[in-house]
Amino acid sequence: MRTGLVYHPIYLEHDTGSHPENASRLRAVAQMLNETGLEKQLTAIEPRPATIEELSLVHTQELISDVQRAAQEGGGWLDPDTVVSPASYQVALYAAGGVLQALLAVMNGQVNNAFALVRPPGHHATPERAMGFCLFNNVAIAARYAQTKLAVERILIVDFDVHHGNGTQDTFYGDPRVLYFSTHQYPFYPGSGSIIETGEKEGKGYTVNVPLPAGCGDKEYRQVLNEVLIPVARRFQPHLILASAGYDAHWTDSIAMMTLTVGGYAQIATTLRKLADEHCQGRLLLALEGGYNTAALAASVRATFDVLLGNPESPDPMGSPDSQGTPRGFDDTILQVKRLHGLGPT
């Protein structure tokens, strides 16, 4: 099993200071890859800057120019959550371009699957707006590239960040060739991602949101995978699976209120790999989104790589939270999602 890795020190140059999304996140992951020897098992994929044409597959010229101008003028805040430093525009080009390079490596058979460890993240960036720590939407750009340049007919995007990927949803809301599936804490930032947001026009039914109450953990996520994601994916039969890989639903992450463990993330990765093997010859690409406890992030990324490589299950140095019952509202949410999307017995 060949698993690709996109990483480059340039991703550390997006200088956000003490912002939760800062360079220490990738430093922790890079250190883990080195210390565990995982790096030697991976196929390095060299990133490149995305072109303006490639960014324009998703984003308006006005947004691209605004981000470039903000960086050239010394940086600053695009909104209360999203910061730009002098190097951020160039780094963001390499983030989008790194995911595109990983896409090409997966599609041409250089690797079976790949994980792009990039920043800034992307799934909140809409076609017209940078927001939520995100400048350009790396996964959305890769999906549009796969459609327009590689003639991929059906793409499944799985977003397991704790926040809803409003930018990705907006990009493909009317597109039946892209199935967007998201698990996220709800209600929570950015406020989108309700059950009834299912797409529009030809894309109606191709957005599947699973808005979860706070406190959901491994058991609840496993049920979502088995009862919603797997049947939805089997019905759609994707030719490529992309994942917005956010690790901020971990129980130690202070930015949210979920209770996933490292083992829970391994289960998500296992499900994605099985779906890719079943439907699209293993073609699976993950791109990093959130995850703000650096120790939990590194351990969860390690678990993900072990699944992708077919290694034995990696240890969980973080442990588990105190046991608790199923959060109120969870069962009703799953029932509603299944009814709305016609997923078997309800």
Name the stretches of the chain with pLDDT < 50: 346
Are 186 and 211 within 8 A, CB to CB? yes
CA distances from 155 to 169, 239, 297 (A): 13, 6, 26
Q: What is the pLDDT of residue 3?
A: 98
Q: What is the pLDDT of residue 218?
A: 98
Of residues 8, 123, 124, 239, which has the active-site annotation?
A: 124
Active site residue 123: no
Q: How do the domains of the chain map onto residue ranges?
A: 3-312+327-340
Handedness of CA 127, 177, 179, 205 (dihedral sign): positive
Q: What is the pLDDT of residue 323?
A: 79
Q: Assign 242 to helix, strand or coil.
A: strand
| Rounded Cα–Cα distance for residues 284 and 286 (Å) | 7
Buried b (16+ CB within 10 A) or exposed e, 177-210: bbbbbbbbbbebbbebbebebbbeeebebbbbbb
Q: What is the pLDDT of residue 345?
A: 64
Any idea which architecture 3-312+327-340 has in CATH? Answer: 3-Layer(aba) Sandwich (3.40)
Q: What is the pLDDT of residues 318-335, one digit of tens each?
A: 999 987 899 999 999 999
Q: What is the pLDDT of residues 248-271, one digit of tens each?
A: 999 999 999 999 999 999 999 999
Q: What is the CA radius of gyration of the chain?
A: 18
Length of the chain: 346
